[in-house]
Chain A
Amino acid sequence: MTASFFWLASYPKSGSTWLRAFLQNLLTKSPEPASINDLTTGAIASARNWIDDLLGFDTADLYRNEVARLRPESYRFASTVASGPQYFKIHDANVRVDGDRRLIDLNATAGALYLIRNPLDVAISLANHNGCSIDRAIDLMADAGHCLSPHANDRLHNQVEQRLLTWSSHVESWVDDPELETEVLRYEDMGTKPQHAFAAAAAFLRIQTDPANIDRAIRHSQFEGLKAQEERDSFRERSTHSSRFFRKGLIGDWKRTLTRSQINRIVDQHGTVMARFGYLDSGGDPWIG
């Protein structure tokens, strides 16, 4: 059995849709930019329908611990019948479920491309996405118990519960996993040195391609193009709390938007991981660039 799944792992609002748009354009080689509403690569791992289909019964009728326990089995099975490499977006932290069982089954996994973005900018984007204050977003990023689509006993989400941990723990859960082949892709590098960043991503994902195709895929997935598509066609993955999914996409927006106290809180909470990935200068201050 050859492990066939690549996980496109990220904390929310770190550019995974941008990456998926790039991959879609890279793989389809279409002369026109791919539609943002037709990103067939990187279906999210937490999609309830996908898991239900694999299991043959409804996760809606399961308890929280049952869903968590059965997810690894679903991925493992799906990987055994996959016809080639497949790419799945995932926001879960790389956690263990049910004692010591991995959520991401190693037998199913070829590797994880971890997308990281400066948490100072993530906080702004997350606040917009959730329709909450920036301070609340900063709280969430520091909350080890934070979950997306939290399991509720009295209603249903179209995704199953995803444990995020804190922003720092999320990063470390993926990139420090000694058993997992990982590659880190910085959001900032996708913007400032796209050829290099996207070529490295494509190589890690074992996608046979050439520089011209990568250039074309980069052009077709440029932020302004995605934003124009959303203005024209709307975007089905937009949060209902937010009027736009593709909002600013800026690198370093925090310099204009965050207060000194908000910056300090994020640096206090996540400074170690920020320094490691080049988001702090040698003096421990946010890197202005």
Chain B
Amino acid sequence: MEQGRHRYFAFGLTLASDLRLPEFTEALHIGDAEVDIRAGAVPSSGAEIGARIGPFVCATKNMLWLRVPGVARFLVRDGREITYAVEATADESSLRVFMLGSCIGALLLQRGQLVLHGNAFEVADGCVICVGTSGAGKSTLAARMLQRGHRILADDVCPIDMEARAVPGLPRLKLWQDAARRLKIGTDGLRRIRPSLDKFDVPLDGMYCDEPLPIRAIYLLRPWNEPRLLSEPVIGLAKYPALRANSYRFRFLKGMGEEPRHLAQCSRLAARVPIARVHRPKSGFDVDGLADLILEDLACRPAS
């Protein structure tokens, strides 16, 4: 093993990194890692890498260049390498936030994986994935499920394998101070995801599920301005746009020219997994009511 390199296991992959990644599970294995993370030269412009698909993103089928101004530039290549070049005096936490989000997501997409923007937690006979936009309540719900004894598989970046199983991601939940307060989760001693954000890494410890689990159902979380909770099934052709809208960084996929593959993957998943839209009141987040609704909905569905 190369000196000074840390070994990790997550997302079904072995990773070697010159940067310490405390969010990951340390791997005991020796031998070649499937993914290599290291500091190196990353062009200051992505133009030489590929077509511009965002103000700070360029992509080809196998390469993605991403810049987070003031933090770092990243080059994600062949589903095997993440090279980073820190900008100015960015701190390591800030570097990791974007590496473990967008860059890992891009790497999984390069490996041909379907990735949803959501959280996965264990239920009887499998797991549930909750997807939705930022602020929909995914992490708050996952944290509450954790408190209620459900193991967590993934937070935010949720890969899905060929057997319609959710693949375990990082053994942590990212939680805002406000949500932690409401759930009575103390944040003293927890690591901030960035130095000046009151958003914390909640470690999962023994409540991390480290094996892929079959997906029992996918719930689309939708805050609305009505005072009640409501679940409604998403059926037939409506399933594809629902999955597409909640796919992780669909813009990257388009830039990679992988829309046809993504469509096929979504179609396969849609044929196997029920999807429901769950509306919850915007004001007064009744997280237990939401958790109960999902578990009750699930109880009415036969295990596959």
Contacts and interface: CB of A to CB of B under 8 A. Distances in A.
Nearest to A157: B135
Contacts of B282: 240
A66 interface: yes
B57 interface: yes
A70 interface: yes
Nearest to B181: A154
Contact of A236 (B133, B193, B199, B224): B224
A143 interface: no
A77 B55 CA distance: 5
A239 B225 contact: yes
Interface stretch (B1-9, B10-18, B66-74, B267-275): B66-74
A272 B196 CA distance: 41
Interface in A150-166: 152-158
B281 interface: yes
Nearest to B224: A236
A132 interface: no
Interface stretch (A17-25, A48-56, A204-212): A48-56
A234 interface: yes
Contacts of B52: 77
A61 B176 contact: no
Contacts, number: 93
Interface stretch (B97-105, B122-130, B208-216, B257-265): B97-105
Nearest to A53: B251
Contacts of A234: 225-226
Interface in B30-77: 52-57, 66, 68-70
Contacts of B57: 55-56
A226 B102 CA distance: 41
A155 B177 contact: yes
Contact of B101 (A57, A69, A235): A57
Nearest to A60: B134
B194 A77 contact: no
Nearest to A69: B69
Interface in B127-153: 133-135
Nearest to B245: A49
Interface string B171-208: 00000111100000000000001101111000000000
Contacts of B177: 153-155
Interface residues of A, number: 33
A17 B168 CA distance: 43
> B70, B193, B196, B250 — which one has the most chain A CB atoms within 10 A of its CB?
B70
A63 interface: yes
Interface size class for chain B? 35 or more
Nearest to A80: B52
B193 A61 contact: yes
B150 to A, nearest CB: 23
Given A56-B252, A69-B69, A158-B135, A153 B198 contact: yes
B50 to A, nearest CB: 13
A57 B102 contact: yes
Contacts of A235: 225
A49 B245 CA distance: 11
A267 to B, nearest CB: 34
B283 interface: yes
Contacts of A240: 225, 281-283
Contacts of B178: 152, 154-155
A74 B106 CA distance: 20
A70 B54 CA distance: 12
B258 to A, nearest CB: 15
B134 A48 contact: yes
A240 B228 CA distance: 12
Contacts of B165: none
B134 A153 contact: no
Contacts of B98: 57, 61
Contact of A52 (B56, B97, B134, B198): B134
Contacts of A136: none
A105 B224 CA distance: 32
Nearest to B283: A240
B249 interface: yes
A158 to B, nearest CB: 5
A70 B66 CA distance: 14
Nearest to B194: A61
A236 B249 CA distance: 25
B133 A56 contact: no
B133 A74 contact: no
Contacts of A77: 52, 54-55
Contact of B135 (A54, A153, A156): A156
Minimum-distance CB pairs A-B, first 10? A154-B177, A154-B198, A155-B178, A77-B55, A56-B57, A73-B55, A240-B283, A156-B135, A158-B135, A57-B102
Interface of A: 48-49, 52-61, 63, 66, 69-70, 73-74, 76-77, 152-158, 234-236, 238-240
7 contacts: A53-B250, A61-B97, A63-B197, A153-B199, A157-B135, A234-B226, A236-B224
Given A49-B133, A56-B66, A57-B66, 6 more contacts: A55-B57, A56-B102, A58-B101, A155-B176, A157-B135, A234-B226
